[in-house]
Amino acid sequence: MTDTATPYRAPHLAHWPARLPRELAIPQTTLGYNLEVSARRWPDKPACVFLGRAMSFGELHRQAEALAGWLQAQGVRKGDRVLVFLQNCPQYLVAAYAIFRADAVVVPVNPMNKADEFGHYITDPQARVAITSADLSGIVLEADGRLPADRRLRQLLVTRMCEAGPEGEGRAVAPEEAPSEAIMAWLRSDDCPADARITRWPEALACTTPPTPSTAGPDDLALLPYTSGTTGLPKGCMHTHRTLMANVAGGGQWGFAGPESISLSVVPMFHITGFMYGVLSTVCTGATAVILPRWDRELAGRLISRHRVTHWTCIPTMIIDLFGSPNYQTFDLSSLRYLSGGGAAMPHAVAERLQKEFGITFAEGYGLTETAAPSHANPPERAKLQCLGMPIFGVDSRIVDPDTLKPVPIGETGEIVTHGPMVFKGYWGHAEATAAAFIEIDGKRFFRTGDLGRMDEEGYFFITDRLKRMINASGFKVWPSEVELLLFRCPQVQEACVIAAKDAYRGETVKAVVVLREQARGQTTPEDIIAWAREHMAAYKVPRVVQFVDALPKSGSGKVMWRWLQEREPQV
């Protein structure tokens, strides 16, 4: 398929950092083995800090071993999928490494999901065990109760968020480590319904049955994070220990990380970026993760100052919000050595302010769930603003015409396609979608990202548009088709089409163009639809704007012309 008139060039290699190898010697071991190694190397060193309480690598390993034994006692076998439905907390690390140790597969689920959404994550991966917190357990049980008996969960492991903080040891949280009172009240929550299938966290950790010897290898399935496409429900992306290990091994080298590093872990761990940098990478390098359960700009500023945080992977809206704090000038950010992120472009003015006031260069990166987070990154010593960066270790990324699939000249826009060791194996249970997601160029399998971009003369990539129908709200990816499917359940809605709208803070936000049912017309307001959506879908998916119309524009085949509506929306 390669156009011989336009031979492939890799100009970024001329600007490749001299300190880095171009290819990685990726370990031929499992992710669980990384914890075993770190626990032996640094048994007493903090693996993470949460609300002022440290958990050592040795203790993390001990708890993961105990929980792995408990999982196997519940019938979890090699390759089984286990749901993890938690906010950021040390229990997330314990759960993930216990699942790896049991040779099973982690299925991270967004804790913002409601019962209407959660059932899909039980049935699609055929999960039988879920790990969650008390405040979320009601959502799990409500979703589970709607399923046929033969598709329901067998066991539900429930923790209280504060069990991993100092209150779990009977000590108070120090003021400088404490989030807002509202978040503290939520952390203390024990609002858990009664159900015979529930096991409490301390009971599971008390399991004395050791797990059986691991037989997993690098090519066994390890992680099944879900992502949506342009149609239908979310699909699971199959990642093996090997595909994840590529970015685990490379991330530390790219970002100057090591056992002396201290990372601020605030990107949600259910998200591929949060999982890579908050669960996997720090354990591999022996770094300490300072964990925030939710974004809290005041707490983030205090924790960076108190713990001398060196590494922070974030989304630009967090930086913008931190600068919006009336206390930001009191925060000591001088310890930060590597500030990176993606999900949304960093505004030029904010990047300049970071450099001027704190001497920090924000190094943007680019990747997808399908590529285990980064496939491109800016080298911090030669970063370009509002740029995706260059292809990282072992990555061959090109710009092709989305229709002909032939390469386009440097500087011209086309679809970004990527080949590399971190690319996923396919969509769980969706052979046709998997086949459509890949093309072959020069005998290599390339993933079609669905993103439109261009490459400059130096081999740096820039995103220009989205081929896929996706809304990017402060780094959260919202898939219109999924929101539409949920809105169709609203008793007042006859039809709905979801598009992106301009938003001063989020960049883009969700707009629903709605046709009301006859009996609801004149009786329903846009606020009524928004209120219903808040009860039935994750907060970031909720339409912020609702427009009522008499009918949606449709093509001759009867398909809703969403693109026509999007084009008539003010430029986003």
To which residue do tokens 């052979």 refer?
A: 431
Q: Pick the last residue of a domain from 275, 306, 341.
A: 341
Q: Pick the last residue of a domain from 341, 363, 391.
A: 341
Do 482 and 336 reside in the same domain of the chain? Answer: no
To which residue do tokens 């300049």 refer?
A: 352
pLDDT at 316: 86
- For residue 266, what is the domain's CATH number? 3.40.50.12780
Nearest residue to 208 (alpha-carbon basis) of 33, 65, 101? 65
CA angle 343, 245, 387 (to 5 degrees): 30
307 inside domain:
yes
**Whole domain around residue 504: which residue ranges?**
471-568
Q: What is the pLDDT along the chain (572 residues), one digit of tens a residue?
A: 444 334 566 899 999 999 999 999 999 999 999 999 999 999 999 999 999 999 999 999 999 999 999 999 999 999 999 999 999 999 999 999 999 999 999 999 999 999 999 999 999 999 999 999 999 999 999 999 999 999 999 999 999 999 998 888 778 888 889 888 888 888 888 989 999 999 999 999 999 999 999 999 999 999 999 997 556 789 999 999 999 999 999 999 999 999 999 999 999 999 999 999 999 999 999 999 999 999 999 999 999 999 999 999 998 888 888 988 889 889 999 999 999 998 777 877 788 888 888 888 899 999 999 999 999 999 989 999 889 999 999 999 999 999 899 999 999 999 999 999 999 999 999 999 999 999 999 999 999 999 999 999 999 999 887 777 788 888 888 888 889 989 988 999 989 999 999 888 778 899 999 999 999 999 999 999 999 999 999 999 999 999 999 999 987 656 788 889 998 998 65
449 inside domain:
no
Nearest residue to 210 (alpha-carbon basis) of 341, 68, 110? 68
160 inside domain:
yes
pTM: 0.90
Do 335 and 477 reside in the same domain of the chain? Answer: no
pLDDT at 525: 97
450 inside domain:
no
15 inside domain:
no
- For residue 498, what is the domain's CATH number? 3.30.300.30
347 inside domain:
no
pLDDT at 310: 97
Q: Pick the last residue of a domain from 341, 370, 392.
A: 341
* φ and ψ of 154, to 5 deg: -90, -35
**Cα–Cα distances in angstroms (integers) from residue 449 to residues 36, 150, 291, 423, 529, in the given order:** 35, 36, 31, 11, 33
Domains contained in the chain, number: 2
CB of 134 within 8 A of CB of 189?
Answer: yes
Do 185 and 326 reside in the same domain of the chain? Answer: yes
Structure tokens that stand for 340 in this block = 């990176």
463 inside domain:
no
> Where would I find the beta strands (DSSP E) of 382-486?
390-391, 396-400, 414-419, 438-441, 444-455, 461-466, 471-473, 476-478
Q: Which residues contact 359 (CB under 8 A, 6 or more apart)?
A: none
pLDDT at 231: 61
408 inside domain:
no
Burial 61-97 (b: 16+ CB within 10 A, else e): bbbbbbbbbbbbebebeeebbbbbbbbbbbbbbbbbb
Compute the chain's Rg from CA coordinates: 23
